[in-house]
Chain A
Amino acid sequence: MKNNSLGRAFLLLVIAGAIGYGIGLGIDFSIRGELKLSASVPSAFALLFSFTAFFFGLYGYRGITRGLVFQVVGTVIGAALVTGIRALMGLESIGAFLFTEPAWVFGALVGVISFFFGVGVMTDWVKWARGIDTPDHHEDEPGWQKYFGVSLDHKVIGIQYTVTALFLLAVGGTFALIFRTELAASGLDFLTLDLDVFNQNGPQLYNTLMSLHGMIMIVSILLGISGIMNYVVPLLVGAHDMAFPRMNAFAYWVAVPASVLLLLALILGGFDTGWTGYPPLSSRAPLGVQMFFLGVFTAGWSSILGALNVIATVVRMRARGMTAMRMPILVWASVATSIIALTATQLIGLSFQLVMFQRLFGMGFFDPGKGGNPVLFQHLFWFYSHPAVYVFVLPGLGVISELLPVFVRKPLFGYRWVAMSSLGIALVGFVVWAHHMFTSGMNEYLRVPFMYSTMLVAVPTGVKFFSWVATMWGGKIETPTPMLFVLGSIVVFLLGGVTGPPNAMVALDLHLHDTYWVVGHFHDTIFGGFVFPFFAAIYYWFPKATGRKMNEFWGKVHFWLMTPSFFALTLGMMFIGLRGMRRRIVDYDPALGFDGAHLFLTVCAFLIAISILIFFINFFRSIKHGEPATGNTWNSRSPEWQVPSPMPAHNYEVPFEVVGEPYDYGLPGSKFVEFAAKTAGKH
């Protein structure tokens, strides 16, 4: 049974971790000639061995286990190949981390590609290329095991995305807790200068953890929104799956080796550039930065292909009668997000790739000594990375608009305006990137047009807020856990919203830029626009996926612990930011008098962590022990709730037709969808 295999998996994790560590230590010793326990190579081996063994214990040698084995073997073969060639050419062939940098990069690339073949996500395509036919659907095995292998079912993939996102959320959060603890008092407390872990001293390790906190959370968010969109969008539009199920699976499985690369970045020397990776700092950072670049580059594919799939699904596979203005609002938001993800992600991939090439081949794209321009990188980078923020929050805002009418028992106020405001935000979002560069040294007066465009974002965002307030006005408001998180989202996102315009005002931003004010501001936007709605969505659709509800009491404890702590955390950050606290520093001048504030922030961060731990326990316990909920749990009009939970493997047995508005709560006798008679045949 599951518990036995879980126990076995953890046992194998420990044993294989120890074996990997031992092997790595041996290799490291044979090269370095001394025993160093905190060196990179032993830990890298331990990480890869333990991960692989864990899934082996859980699932056997197939699916993800096979993928990870292929990734490890592929990495070693690729790196050995380059090492061999370098040795033959008389170049340096042994680096500080066993292999040299070019060998690691090529090996990592081969490893990622090997993973795809190992996990089996390419199988059908390879067969087609060889002229072999495969069935359109593959039936998944029953039970939990299907989640560890390749499945083409959008619901399985949605849950794979969501659980991976939660895992990365935990990893990124743990990193934050580590450096938050260091910041609790001024002075280098445990990340000291004589520390030597993974070839990094304390401040370097801080820089790595802080940078990875950023990027791991970003990947977590991208997977989280893909989780919501994958699970919900086909159900909302009445499709039996996504438009391209194999590409859908591929898009998910790309993210797994990408996550492994990001974790390897920590071990292989780390990097001190922040998630933004600005050169020249990133062109001279340790090896970890290459793993980071490659990890992000790989994860970007997930985002691009996922977005393509969402757009195709919405355009081509809507149920009869679902005209554009009768689509559920979350579908609109998903389309808006996907347009950005599909067209902008390339730019971050490109900017990172150029720095990779600068390091590997000496190309001077951003090197002023070779005629390159460091500021150009910032333009390329932010051309994605600002719209990316809207990629993160638009689905969350869609979740708010989707769930609010259900719990207010009233139509969504100004449906068309809310739908169009998502597109408005997405489009304006493309022309605001340089507001991250007001102090960068770009042309002084070029800052003014970007101030105008940035301020414009406030208008469609305002429309959403006003519409939400008007939706609540005169309703019959119920507040179960999902609704609490919706309300939390609105207020937290509002705080992020009103603290945004000060950054857009150029002169004021000259003070605010790169301070904790900005840190507080964007944590508000991301928690309000993604984290709170993500939790709302999980509490809300959990019964649809499992046939059980998550525990209400512990859900409310989660909410009431997390929300005030989070408010205190970000308000405190903004306060010290205004007073002179810079971003991305491992230590601060005690003369600034921030010790008390930082201690307070650290306590808040731990309270949030506890609340999320409660969520995790509730989540995993409720899968088996939650209160059964197979009907229309929230009394919703939405099509997915008109059929029993958990959702059948191929969604709707009979297709539905849209016969009314999606949110006409309170209009007697109205319906959103109507199912054809049972005898009407199959889709």
Chain B
Amino acid sequence: MRHFIVVGILTIIASVLLYLGLSAAHLMPVAASAQAVPIDWMWNLILIVMSFFFSLIVVPMGYSLIVFRRRRGETGEGAHFEGNTTLELFWTAIPLLIVVSFSVLGARNLAQTLARNPQAPVIKVTGLQWSWRFEYPADPETGLVVVSDQLHIPVGEQVLLRMTSSDVIHSFWVPEFRVKQDLVPGRFTELTITPTEVGSYKVRCAELCGTSHYSMEKPVVIQSQADYEAWMAGELEKAKLASSSPEGFGQLLVQQNGCAACHSITGGTLVGPTWLGLYGSQVELSDGSAVTADDAFIAESISNPQAKIVKGFESVQMVQYAFTPDELSAIVAYIKTIK
């Protein structure tokens, strides 16, 4: 009996210490969304249960190893008992109760993180190898649509992300917001986010999506309503300006579609060839032939990238982009300017 009391006390002490240690360690990153609140609450509850059950097994094991070890010169066998049905029923029923209660709590918890304001503005998100594209609601006055590779949300406002992918599966994750949702080609998935802390974060693709999966990260900026409006006004201005010249329009398209994830404009080699000095140059292809990088070649390389593969990039499969002829010529016009 003395053994049971000692082990019981030690287990409780160990559980408490373990829990206090774990919660003092601040294991989770800063919580920056309303959705993080129920999730962090659940994490805390789970920490208590984890600390308890870990101690409940490890402490009696450690105790047995010390107290019931075979001492030097000791012979004979251990105490003979084969089991105890009451005890087995007890440690089947109690955990069963705990897991069912947790599941009930978990379902409610999920409902809280999914809680949705039907009037929330919708931002269309597209994942592509290897960038993010955010399409904001149309400007009510001009009808212009701002598209960016950055996600800006005013603090405290709930937004609905309606997401899809243009190639393979990606996953939207901002660790500070906690919630995560895959982007699946051919369908839309949704994610509700209510940012609560002003700051700069990053959306990080959480589903393996190929060569540059690791760098598929883009800024997420949570700002005051005023700052947000100023940013939006600036983007609208840019969009207007851009539509006045083909080069500007091309540059905007390039930025919106995340082309810079693979193609540098400074001469460095990324996943794809650089655009610096590309226009008019001789390009060596994988089959040994060479072509001049003219309008037709560049346009073809965008809309049907596998047609002519540049030497040294055989292992990379660029996605086909469905631009209109006007957009293609705007992009070519922009690439012309990169010398």
Identify the A interface with B (CB < 8 A).
33, 96, 193-194, 196, 199-201, 203-204, 207, 269, 272-274, 278, 280-281, 284, 286, 368-369, 373-375, 408-417, 439-441, 444, 447-448, 451-452, 455-456, 458-459, 462-463, 465-470, 472-479, 487, 490-491, 494-495, 497-499, 501-502, 504-508, 510-511, 513-515, 575, 578-580, 582-589, 661, 664-667
Contact = CB atoms under 8 A, between A and B. Distances in A.
Contact of B217 (A413, A472, A504, A589): A589
B208 A472 contact: no
A510 B79 contact: no
Given A455-B103, A508-B39, A470 B270 contact: no
19 contacts: A280-B169, A375-B184, A414-B84, A415-B82, A417-B83, A439-B206, A441-B182, A451-B106, A474-B81, A476-B70, A476-B74, A494-B54, A510-B181, A578-B27, A582-B173, A582-B204, A589-B217, A665-B78, A667-B80
B21 to A, nearest CB: 12
Given A281-B210, A368-B185, A490-B61, A204 B315 contact: yes
Interface of B is mostly: mixed
B77 A487 contact: no
A502 B315 contact: no
B235 interface: no
Contacts of A194: 269
A510 B81 contact: no
Most A C-beta atoms less than 10 A away, residue of B95, B100, B114: B95
B187 A368 contact: yes
B208 A476 contact: no
A477 B70 contact: yes
Interface residues of B, number: 88
Nearest to B43: A508
A281 B169 contact: yes
Contacts of A586: 214
A506 to B, nearest CB: 5
B186 interface: yes
B249 to A, nearest CB: 28
Nearest to B270: A193
Contact of A474 (B78, B181, B205, B211): B78
B14 interface: no
Nearest to A276: B208
Contact of A199 (B100, B110, B315): B315
Kindly name the residue among B70, B208, B314 whose own CB sees the greatest number of chain A CB atoms within 10 A: B208
Interface in B159-189: 167-169, 171, 173, 175, 178-182, 184-187, 189
Contacts of A497: 53
Contact of B79 (A410, A415, A467, A513): A410
A590 B16 CA distance: 35
Nearest to B4: A473
A284 B109 CA distance: 38
Given A280-B169, A281-B208, A494-B57, A511 B46 contact: no
A441 B78 CA distance: 54
A452 B173 CA distance: 25
A515 B204 CA distance: 11
From A452, A472, A473, name the one whose CB has the most chain B CB atoms within 10 angstroms.
A473
B106 A458 contact: no
A487 B61 contact: yes
* Central interface residue in B77, B107, B171, B184, by most chain A CB within 10 Å: B77
B169 A33 contact: no
Given A477-B68, A511-B178, 16 more contacts: A196-B312, A369-B186, A410-B78, A441-B182, A452-B100, A452-B103, A455-B106, A469-B57, A474-B78, A476-B70, A501-B99, A507-B110, A511-B28, A575-B27, A580-B175, A587-B215
A374 B58 CA distance: 43
Interface string B130-164: 00000000000000000000000000000000000
A505 B106 contact: yes
Interface in B31-83: 38-39, 42-43, 46, 49-50, 53-54, 57-58, 60-61, 64-65, 68-70, 74, 76-83
A120 B211 CA distance: 42
Contacts of A368: 184-187
B314 A666 contact: no
- Top 8 closest A-B pairs, CB basis? A368-B186, A410-B78, A475-B78, A666-B77, A580-B175, A585-B214, A666-B80, A414-B83
A458 B106 CA distance: 15
Contact of A440 (B39, B79, B112, B182): B182
Contact of A507 (B39, B189, B204): B39
A580 B220 CA distance: 15
A200 B68 contact: no
B96 interface: yes
Contacts of A451: 103, 106-107, 110
A666 B79 contact: yes
Contact of A439 (B42, B102, B182, B204): B182
Interface stretch (B86-94, B238-246, B296-304, B324-332): B86-94
Nearest to A508: B42
A412 B314 CA distance: 60
B213 interface: yes
A514 B171 contact: yes
B61 A458 contact: no
Contacts of A487: 61, 65
A381 to B, nearest CB: 13
B202 interface: yes
Contacts of A286: 315
A281 B314 contact: no
Contacts of B60: 469, 472-473
A467 to B, nearest CB: 8
B64 A469 contact: yes
Given A193-B269, A444-B114, A479 B182 contact: no
Contacts of B109: 505-508
Contacts of A196: 312, 315
A510 B29 CA distance: 14
Contact of A417 (B88, B186, B312, B314): B88
B78 to A, nearest CB: 4
Nearest to A211: B208
Given A368-B185, A495-B54, A415 B83 contact: yes
Given A440-B182, A513-B180, A472 B211 contact: no
B206 A472 contact: no
Given A203-B214, A472-B65, A667-B80, A447 B169 contact: no
A376 to B, nearest CB: 11
A201 B27 contact: no
